Structure 1
């Protein structure tokens, strides 16, 4: 009995262990507090993260602002590049047009130079013919001959077998007021395949070809061309001039081709 009383005093008496009294909280209030603490911790961590980025130079807003500024600069550079390209295309077009005009001018100058050379040669030939006319008009041969052939030349042309001839016809003083009407005939002596041959131009087909008809009063310059086989070699050409429908030539002249 005494032992039980001692144990009771030891447990519930002044010498017993201290007992703490606490207020009981519901479980949902505990979870709510935990969530609040976690949210505050996340917010603090985010704030510290952003603050650290700003201090380190990685501010998101500044980066976005810089990106927008770079995009604006890129747009300006793109517009300037587009304008530069358009200007370059315009300059290229102008250069091409200038080169085209320059090429046309060069071609025109080249053609003009060729025409000038041709005119100079023609002028020299006309002067020479004029001097020939003056000498023939003053000569006694014109008085004795009713028709004469002068300055006969026959030369090979560009194409094989093609020849060009040139001559001058002059009437005598006795036919001063008469119109000469007649025709021209070429007798070509050639060699082909080791054989000699003759060819009459134009062929005897009745009326003379228009290119070989003659009608003049004082003098007449004749130019033309004829063609033979490219394998043939022309040795000489005789020019015959007939008056009217006469069968006998009024004048003849020979040209030798070397």
Structure 2
């Protein structure tokens, strides 16, 4: 028995450690705090690394906002420039139309000026040449030209009555076209809308005649002949031929 007591309470007895008991909620609180600290530390390290790499959220948001504003301004400037270009294009088209009209008017005035000069020269020659006043009717400025459309031709002439001019000249004109078609030389009279198929004229001093006619596309006009008839006289008073102006 003594030996048993010595083994339990003697020097050779096993050591016993006395520890204070920690409540469970304290342990859980400590674990929670440690986990929270770990998460905060991890987020701080992640945010620091992102900033270091240039991926700061605030800077990215600011850059996106700046780019959005820049894009909006560029779109607005682009719309304004597009409107200005459209306005300038419309103005250029209007200017082009105006220039074309002015060019046509200038050409028409030049043509009219040339015609008036030719008429004036004809009248001057008519009054200066001896014996011209004895002939009652004269043909001046007979022309045959190509028109603007394919197969279109334009002719013009000036009829003048000289002498005493006691009454109006009344008569008609007969036009004949000389042309080639299918390697053949042919002639064709120009018919008017009058029942006589002739072109009636009536004037005291002068009369200008200008008309156009159409020919087949495979026909080549070479010249035109005009005859002047006076009412009541079967034979032509005048006859003149003009070649096509090149």
TM-score, normalisation: structure 1: 0.71
* CA RMSD after TM alignment: 3.8
State the shift of 1:150 in Å.
1.6
Which residue in 2 is equivalent to 1:58?
47
Check if 1:93 corresponds to 2:77: no
Which residue in 2 is equivalent to 1:218?
205
The structure-2 alpha-carbon separation of the partners of 1:199 and 1:105, relative to structure 1 and needing over 3 Å to count, comes to same
Cα displacement string for residues 157-191 of structure 1 (whole angstroms, at most 9, x for unaligned residues): 45565433221100022225x23333221123445
Residues 117-196 of structure 1 aligned to structure 2 (within 5 Å): 117-157=107-147, 161-176=151-166, 178-193=167-182, 196=185
Cα displacement string for residues 114-147 of structure 1 (whole angstroms, at most 9, x for unaligned residues): 4323422331231222122222134344421111
Greater displacement, 228-237 / 115-124: 228-237
The structure-2 alpha-carbon separation of the partners of 1:201 and 1:245, relative to structure 1 and needing over 3 Å to count, comes to farther
Q: What is the CA–CA distance in structure 1 between the aligned matches of 2:41 and 2:216, rounded to whole Å? A: 106
**Contact 1:237–1:256 (CA under 8 A) maintained in structure 2:** yes
Q: Secondary structure at the match of 1:77?
A: helix
Q: What is the CA–CA distance in structure 1 between the aligned matches of 2:233 and 2:152, rounded to whole Å? A: 29
The structure-2 alpha-carbon separation of the partners of 1:52 and 1:166, relative to structure 1 and needing over 3 Å to count, comes to closer
Which residue in 2 is equivalent to 1:242?
229
Could you say which structure has the higher helix fraction? 1
State the shift of 1:253 in Å.
1.6
Cα displacement string for residues 68-115 of structure 1 (whole angstroms, at most 9, x for unaligned residues): 564255234313311221111211221232133124313422442343
Given candidates 3, 15, 25, the residue that maps to 1:10 is: 3
Size of the aligned set, in residue pairs, is: 236
**Contact 1:142–1:171 (CA under 8 A) maintained in structure 2:** no
**Contact 2:170–2:202 (CA under 8 A) maintained in structure 1:** yes
The structure-2 alpha-carbon separation of the partners of 1:46 and 1:98, relative to structure 1 and needing over 3 Å to count, comes to same
Rg larger for: 1
The structure-2 alpha-carbon separation of the partners of 1:169 and 1:96, relative to structure 1 and needing over 3 Å to count, comes to same
**Ranges in structure 2 where 5+ consecutive residues have no aligned partner:** none
